[in-house]
Amino acid sequence: MEPDAKTASPTGPSVTRASAAATLGGLHRYADAGPVDVRPSEPGRGRLLLVRHGETAWSRAGRHTGLTDLPLTGAGRAAVGGLPDLLAEYDLVHVRCSPLQRATETARLAGLEPDALDADLVEWDYGAEEGRTTAQAQAEGRPGWTVFDGVPPGETPGETVEMVAARASRVLGRVWRHLEHGDVVLVGHGHHLRVLAAVYLRQTPYLADALELEAGSLSVLGHHRTTPTVHRWNLAP
């Protein structure tokens, strides 16, 4: 399919698939100029809820989907329809979402109304690996390769894991104050949320390579006294 092509939605009018370069060019609209706070010494009472978007055609095929803006599949929409039940027990005070349509559609189907769309919540910029599978890269003489080993520039510049971690740190810096009052939901993407979890846990961002996070899942981060912890991980609706 060509970049910026129209795709038919089984539940309504056609939606636009924007290329990675087109998405990158428009992200300035979602740049958050708000204050970025340091981690408080005493954690707030709230928990941090991570919602990965539902299935897309590329995630189903194992293709790296960074800034290419794809809609959910029918199966993806059906699966995330169970998220409201998982979220019902939480005291939600703030919802922050990636501006990419697979995330905003997931938020809507989960019954969430985002308070902010944040460019720092978009997925890893995979550069030349955009749209390709890990197996394809490994077959080209890079056995054992993952994106954590680095991506070359392509249609977009690409990012290192440290660059993704820096964006994740800014997102966390914007939500610490909300966690003083209750639970916060971040709706985003697989690799980015895994890196964000590692940063939240005060671990190397490379820990994210060992965290499995399925499409449409819910994970919950909290604290034991002042130590950041994983309460629940990779829950299916």
For residues 197-224, give the mean pLDDT: 98
Residue 141 has a pLDDT of 86
131 is in an annotated binding site: no
Residues 94 and 79: their CA atoms lie apart, in Å, by: 23
Kind plus residue range of the DSSP H or E element containing 171:
helix 161-179
3-state helix/strand/coil string of 26-78: HHHHHCCCCCCCCCCCCCCCCCEEEEECCCCHHHHHCECCCCCECCCCHHHHH
Structural domains in the chain, sorted by start: 48-235 (3.40.50.1240)
Summarize pLDDT for 106-126 with one digit per residue, the tens: 999 999 999 999 999 999 999
Q: Which amino acid is at 79?
A: A
Q: For the ranges 10-19, 77-86, 161-170, which has the lowest average pLDDT?
A: 10-19
Summarize pLDDT for 164-196 with one digit per residue, the tens: 999 999 999 999 999 999 999 999 999 999 999
65 is in an annotated binding site: yes
Residue 7 has a pLDDT of 46
Kind plus residue range of the DSSP H or E element containing 85:
helix 83-87
Which residues are catalytic, by number? 53, 123
Res. 2: pLDDT tops 50: no
